Structures are given as structure tokens and as C-alpha cells.
Amino acid sequence: MKLVNVILLFLSVSCFAQVKTTPLTKATLPQSITYQGKIINAVKFKDSHGKTIVVTTETGEYPSKAEDDESYRDAELFAYCYVLVDGSWKQQWKMYDFSKECPVDLEANFVKNTFALTDLDKNGTAEVWLMYNTGCHGDPSPIAMKVILYEGTKKYAMRGTTKVRVSETKYEGGEYTFDEPFKQAPKVFEEYAIKLWNKNISIGYNN
């Protein structure tokens, strides 16, 4: 009987934590939804703010306009949130980051399989999780990594670097900090972010 109760409790918590989403494509997105780059994730869901669409995109590498040398490239990434208001899709927030004027290895990418929608604090408002890397490096060195969380229009940020093995016995990077809004947020947000970070912290050479 105790085992059954534990299972039911786990299922109950899981249901609260998850937000039901419908995947979208370029073809199924409403025409009024505008974005830059190539779609990486696109989903539709409903929470306390009503019907909502979130889209993440990447431009990929392209020649830098600031440099004549074609070896210099730029790359950008975006995330957009649109809410249906009186029959029209209105932009609720937009996130943007980039790496620019890079002649070596260029990074501006969302980390695979980290995009998620949750309701960890069970308040009926979806939490949108974004995780990505940016950097320009020609050697096995750490690059910037961020976890960005949106709950409605509230933004929370976790910033740091990837962890890279630079020799048989030595690692560099992996540190992170939370911004002030994150520190004051429900503890469950921080716990989720740390798990996400630790799962995706290591990239690079022979890791």
C-alpha cells in the first residue's frame, strides 16, 4: 500500500511539473509570428496567460560585416514568446544573444535536449527553460554557457562557463552564478537549473 501511495505521489508531482505542449513547424506557425533564423524549437501551449507560442531560432554562421576578412564570422540566437490577445498574437518577450567577429571556432547554439516547459512552483504559469553556449575559441578552453528562465515576463539568469578537460588530469571552467531574481525565486527553480547545468557542463576535447 505504501508503494502505491509513493507512486501516486510521484505521478501527481510529475503532472504538476509538466506543461502540455503542441509542436509547431514553420508551416504551422501563424503567419503573424515573426522571427529571425532557423527554427530549433516551436511549441504552443496554454497556461494562466492564455494561449502561448514559444519559438527558438539560430542563424548559424555567416560572414561578419565588421571585417573584410571572410574568415571572420558572426552567429546569433533568439527566443520569442507570443501570447494570443483579442485574437492577435502579441510578443510577450524576446531573448537575443550572439558571438561576433570570430576567425576561429564559433559557438552560438542552444544546448540539445534542454528546451523545456515546466510548472515547478505549481502556480499555473509555465516556466520556459533556455540553455545555450556562446563563444569564440581556437583551443580547448571553456566558453560561455547560460540558463535563461522565463515565467511570464519575469526573467531569471544563470551564467557561467562550460567545463573542459585540457589535459589528462586537468579541467578548466564549470563555474556559474545566479542573478538576483534567481536567488529570490522559488528554490525549486534553482534546483532544476543546477541539475540542467551539471548534466550539460562538459564539452570540448576528449571529455
* Pairing verdict, β 116-118 and 127-137: antiparallel
Which secondary structure element, helix H or strand E, spans residue 159, and what is its range?
Answer: strand 154-161
The total of other beta-carbon atoms located within 10 Å of residue 144's CB is 18
pTM: 0.88
pLDDT of residue 203: 58
Q: Which residues of the chain have pLDDT under 70?
A: 1-16, 203-207
Q: Positive or negative, the Cα torsion across 161, 128, 182, 113?
A: negative
pLDDT of residue 12: 39
pLDDT of residue 5: 42
Q: Which cell is 207 given?
A: 571529455
Nearest CA among 175, 79, 97 for reference residue 135: 97
Q: Positive or negative, the Cα torsion across 42, 58, 204, 164?
A: negative
- Residues 6 or more apart in contact with residue 125 via CB below 8 angstroms: 47, 48, 49, 119, 151, 152
- Residues 6 or more apart in contact with residue 122 via CB below 8 angstroms: 16, 17
Q: Which cell is 136 given?
A: 569564440
